[in-house]
Amino acid sequence: MIISTVEGLTKIAQGVRADGKTIGLVPTMGALHEGHLSLIRRARAENDVVFVSIFVNPVQFNNKEDLVKYPRTLENDVKLIGEYADFIFAPTVEEVFPTPPTEEYDFGQVANVMEGAARPGHFNGVGVIVGRLFSWVNPHKSYFGEKDYQQIAVIRELVRIGNHSTEIVPCPIVREPNGLAMSSRNRRLTPEEFETAAQIHQILLKSTEIKGDVPEIKAFVESEIAKVPAFTLDYFEMADDTTLQTVHSFSEAKGVMGFITVYIGAVRLIDNIRYR
């Protein structure tokens, strides 16, 4: 069932809760792929009722051209979801934002680095829509992909700040056969760019074999990315897997991950890998 109004969404979700059933929520911006479907299937397995939102959220785009070019494939998305979800919330921008949003969040240090630094206002925009969805649906569990690892950290802060009761369930990255992390933005790549982009993950994998500390790994990744003419590196950071603050040595954190953002043409791709 497709729901297009906030009133309808809230009423149905309240009814589900009143019946004593558990709710799983999967927020998306549509242009669904196997990565999204893996979240939806997990929500299906772990909850009585599944809600999927499909909404290209304008307030999280700091690049207006990116917003215009973001793929919108609602009819196909609905077919892909099929029986995995009970309700699909697919509102208009006017329905979600009848007036300009005024929410201002302070997510602290996890939002001030990497994507937060590169895309000013992005995480606040994410907080605006996800916070509203949490309020409207009041899900028991909400599902997010680990490709957007930093976003998950921000949303955990959103839950704390907003006193939401939902459990955040992180789900593993789903990759194309060539290793490229699945993303709706992959649709904007030419076939040649699609194959070239697979080198991002290949370089990250090779970097886990480097004998040395953080500086050696950073130097390797940056030099390997620079060897691919189609790539423009935005950043490669190695960070504490909890605080997301940059580390300069493995001795500084128990868990260390690498986070990378690369442009191929006008398409911005992100990925990550765990070192320990």
d(CA 146, CA 246) in angstroms, rounded, equals 19
CB within 8 A of 52, min separation 6: which ones? 25, 26, 27, 28, 40, 81, 84, 85, 87, 88, 89
Residue in 6, 202, 203 with CA at minimum distance from that of residue 92: 6
The pLDDT tens digits of the residues spanning 184-241 come to 999 999 999 999 999 999 999 999 999 999 999 999 999 999 999 999 999 999 999 9
The pLDDT tens digits of the residues spanning 230-273 come to 999 999 999 999 999 999 999 999 999 999 999 999 999 999 99
d(CA 34, CA 77) in angstroms, rounded, equals 11
First to last CA, the chain: 43
**Four-way CATH pick for 2-171: 3.90.1150.10, 3.30.420.40, 3.40.50.720, 3.40.50.620:** 3.40.50.620
SS3 173: coil
Q: Of these residues, 36, 140, 164, 201, which one is catalytic? A: 36
One fold for 2-171 and 184-274: no
Residues of the chain above pLDDT 70, percent: 100
Q: Side-chain half-sphere of 85: how many Cα atoms within 13 Å?
A: 26
d(CA 224, CA 201) in angstroms, rounded, equals 11
How far apart, in Å, are the Cα atoms of 182 and each of 50, 52, 83, 171, 250?
A: 22, 18, 22, 13, 29
User: Look-up: residue for tokens 């999967």?
Assistant: 26
CB within 8 A of 221, min separation 6: which ones? 203, 204, 207, 236, 258, 260
In this structure, the strands spanning 141-145 and 2-3 are: unpaired
DSSP-assigned letter for residue 212: S
**Four-way CATH pick for 184-274: 3.30.300.210, 3.20.20.100, 1.10.3720.10, 3.30.1300.10:** 3.30.1300.10
Containing 8, the helix (H) or strand (E) segment is helix 6-18
pLDDT of residue 62: 86
Side chain identity at 118, as an amino acid letter? A
User: Look-up: residue for tokens 């772990």?
Assistant: 46
Q: Residue ranges per domain, the chain? A: 2-171, 184-274
d(CA 10, CA 24) in angstroms, rounded, equals 14
SS3 264: strand
Given a cut of 90, is residue 65 above it in pLDDT? no
User: Does 33 qualify as catalytic in the annotation?
Assistant: no
The pLDDT tens digits of the residues spanning 77-87 come to 999 999 999 99
